[in-house]
Amino acid sequence: MKFISYLKSYTILAVLPVLAVLVSSCLSEESKLAAIAEVANKQCPMAMEPDGTITGVKFDRATRTLTYEIQSNLDPEFLAMKGNVEWMKRSMFIELSRESPDDEDINDLLDLLIKCNGTLEYVFNNIVGANPLSVKISTDELKKLRNSNMSEAQLNEENLNLILELVNSGVTEEYTDGLRFKKVYNSDDVVIVYEADETLYDMKALEQAKDELRSTMLDEVLSSPDMEALVEAAVAADKGLVISYEGSAGTKGLQLRYTPEELGEINFTTFNPTQIALPDYNN
């Protein structure tokens, strides 16, 4: 299952060429939104790499819903999992919160939707024909977004917590080469915990090889797109990273710590959100 991890608010930007004119006009909020959708729809299709393509924009007067139709790169398995909607909505809230404080156009659009008790909707269609996935942001949620005074540090912390949920969804009881990912949690540092099969690993020997393992294990962690996204989120939140090993029989193992300054030196790969798996809220 793959996911578009970070939805950008530039899906809204399709309406901006006419927004400034319409906001100051005497039309009703519904008429303004209908006109915005009509103009934006004529610009479709619009590429929004790497997420997909906006194929249509419409405004339904009856439900007062502004809808973006998106031909997405979402995996069909993801589209079938309706429980992921809440995770997506929280991710979208973070991205819009980052940009809206300084963007009058986005704020004007949100205000129009709020004044007419409207809804902002994203409908994701997959190229292989899976059932569409609808993500709706209600009037109350738009008000919360519009009035959000979260700082950049708070948004980074919330984004980190979202990625933690994502990564923890990959917890497994299966060992690979004698190791299994156990959990990750947010403390003073971000802590990734692995469990080592003590029938295969000598925990004291691992401790003795600490200096050698310190560089190789970070590279190993960064080889996973999920973990790289986690480390990048930790950097944004000014957190260090601890890679901790616990023995399957309860023996305490080594801990490898990387400071925020060390992590800041990493050249992260261009983030490809379609590589990231989402938690299944249905289970």
- Mean pLDDT along residues 253-278: 73
Min mean pLDDT across 16-25, 124-133, 272-281 is at 272-281
In this predicted structure, the answer to whether residue 6 has a pLDDT above a threshold of 50 is no
pLDDT band at 261 (very low <50, low <70, confident <90, very high): very high
pLDDT of the residue at 79: 56
pLDDT band at 132 (very low <50, low <70, confident <90, very high): confident
Which span out of 62-66, 88-92, 146-150, 165-169 was modeled with the highest average pLDDT? Answer: 62-66
pLDDT of the residue at 23: 52
pLDDT of the residue at 240: 96
Please give the structure tokens belonging to residue 73: 């790169």
pLDDT of the residue at 249: 93
Around 69, how many Cα atoms within 13 Å sit in the side-chain half-sphere?
A: 13
Q: Cβ distance 193 to 244 under 8 Å?
A: yes
pLDDT of the residue at 7: 42
pLDDT of the residue at 197: 94
Name the residue with higher pLDDT: 17 or 115: 115
Name the residue with higher pLDDT: 21 or 225: 225
| Mean confidence (pLDDT) of the chain | 79
- Mean pLDDT along residues 213-230: 86
> Could you tell me whether strands 240-247 and 252-258 are parallel, antiparallel, or unpaired per DSSP bridges?
antiparallel
Q: Please enumerate in sequence order all residues whose Cβ is within 8 A of that of 56, keeping only pairs 6 or more positions apart, or say none.
A: 41, 44, 67, 68, 69
**Would you say the pTM of this structure is higher than 0.85?**
no
Name the residue with higher pLDDT: 86 or 277: 86
In this predicted structure, the answer to whether residue 244 has a pLDDT above a threshold of 90 is yes
- Mean pLDDT along residues 158-162: 90
Query: What's the pLDDT tens digit per position in 69-127?
Result: 888 766 555 555 555 778 778 887 887 787 666 667 778 888 889 999 999 998 888 75
- Mean pLDDT along residues 221-229: 84
Phi, then psi, of 84 in degrees rounded to 5: -80, -5
pLDDT of the residue at 281: 36
Closest CA relative to residue 130, chosen from 72, 67, 66? 72
pLDDT of the residue at 157: 94
pLDDT band at 225 (very low <50, low <70, confident <90, very high): confident
Taking the alpha carbons at both ends of the chain, their separation in whole angstroms is 15
Tell me the chain's radius of gyration from C-alpha atoms. Answer: 22
